[in-house]
Structure 1
Amino acid sequence: MLFGTRKSWWGSRKARPLPHEGVDLCRYRSEAGEPLSLMPGARIPVASGGTVWAITDDDFIGRSLYVRHEGAHGVFFTAYAHVSPRAGLTEGDTLAQGEVLASLADPALRNLRICAHLHFSVMTFSDRLPRENLRWATMGAGEAVRFVDPMPLLGDELILCDEAAERVHWS
């Protein structure tokens, strides 16, 4: 699912109440160009060095991790949803770019008939934002959190879930 879209790629495919806050990633290309699917348990690396800011349970597939980064243009956050945090990972831990922070959660464990995928978001918000305000159902409705399209950071080697949905029977 692309950033900002209101159309769901799974289930009833009905319109979402708020625009999608990031991108859903479920397929990638091997070095040989072969399309492959992310599988439950796939290890997820942090996109940029930073500090684990929050670990929340507000996720219908797994958990969500928020990492705080300091860049040339100020502070920003990345979010990794539908994951299982790495054993021992806690808020305040420092991560180096590429370090594994989680593994992909298995939707089947929650009786969901969708493919395993990573929801990845880039956003800005105040460090003073209470962690309990990080709720996927409401974050995009107010002005406290500003989402940014993450695709320019990811490159063009990924295949988004909506493309994979065309190849999978969803019932």
Structure 2
Amino acid sequence: MKLPPITVYLDTIVRINHLPVSDSGQWFFYQGMLFLSRRKWWADFGTRHATHEGLDIGIFKNRSGNREWLDSSARVPVMASGTVINVCDDFLGRSVIVRHCSNKQSRQVSVYSHLKVPGTISPGKKVDPGDIVGTIADTTGKKSGIHCHLHISLMEIAQQIPDPKITWQVMGEPDPEMVKLFNPMV
């Protein structure tokens, strides 16, 4: 998948949201926030039911060097040019799925999850790097005890799966013949 490095994307989040980040090491990740982790980073810090299919972005180091969580005012930009192919529910909000390129067998997508999505973002919408697809969902009232965060997944999805069917049922525990996951940190 030919997307910008995650460091460039994280810098975009900082710039767009005017975050007061530290000059050294802006972001902090618990082990459970990382790609393919089986650990939780919330509640009991126990084990997930499946490996984590993406990266959870939520904690940055402020100028004082203290850890600070993103909140529900944080705007979520897209990584690269593409077309929104679906907007679907996830367990903390909504997910926006953007196709970046495709061939006869598959299409490469980025998935932005746990959002509040405006009505202007819908299938067919063309987006460019930095365009805002939503804000982080307010999870403070959820029973899960999960802080506000952006979940991002990068995937290659077989053409046999129609765009409207690309939901967390397909992406959450993917069939390796139909969905290939990529590590956003690479």
Query: What TM-score, normalized by structure 1, do the two folds share?
Result: 0.76
State the Cα RMSD in Å.
2.4
CA distance in 2: counterparts of 1:114 and 1:4, whole angstroms: 19
Give every structure 1 segment of 4 or more consecutive aligned residues whose post-TM-superposition deviation is greater than 4 Å.
29-35
Measured after TM superposition, the shift of residue 142 of structure 1 is 1.3
Q: Secondary structure at the match of 2:80?
A: coil
* 1:108-165 Cα deviation digits (max 9, x unpaired): 243442210111100001233133352258633412111100013xxxxxxxxxxxxx
CA distance in 2: counterparts of 1:75 and 1:83, whole angstroms: 23
Match of 2:92 in 1: 61
CA distance in 2: counterparts of 1:17 and 1:137, whole angstroms: 15
Measured after TM superposition, the shift of residue 94 of structure 1 is 0.2
Q: Which amino acid aligns with 1:65?
A: V
The change in CA–CA distance for 1:102 and 1:140 in structure 2 (over 3 A counts) is same
The change in CA–CA distance for 1:29 and 1:44 in structure 2 (over 3 A counts) is same
Match of 2:13 in 1: none
Question: Which of 134, 144, 149 is the matching residue for 2:183?
Answer: 149
Query: What TM-score, normalized by structure 2, do the two folds share?
Result: 0.71
Identity score, percent: 30
- Unaligned runs of at least 5 residues, structure 1: 153-171
* 1:20-73 Cα deviation digits (max 9, x unpaired): 00011102245786643211121000011110011001x1110111100028xx
CA distance in 2: counterparts of 1:133 and 1:22, whole angstroms: 16
What number of residue pairs does the alignment pair up? 149
Q: Secondary structure at the match of 2:173?
A: helix
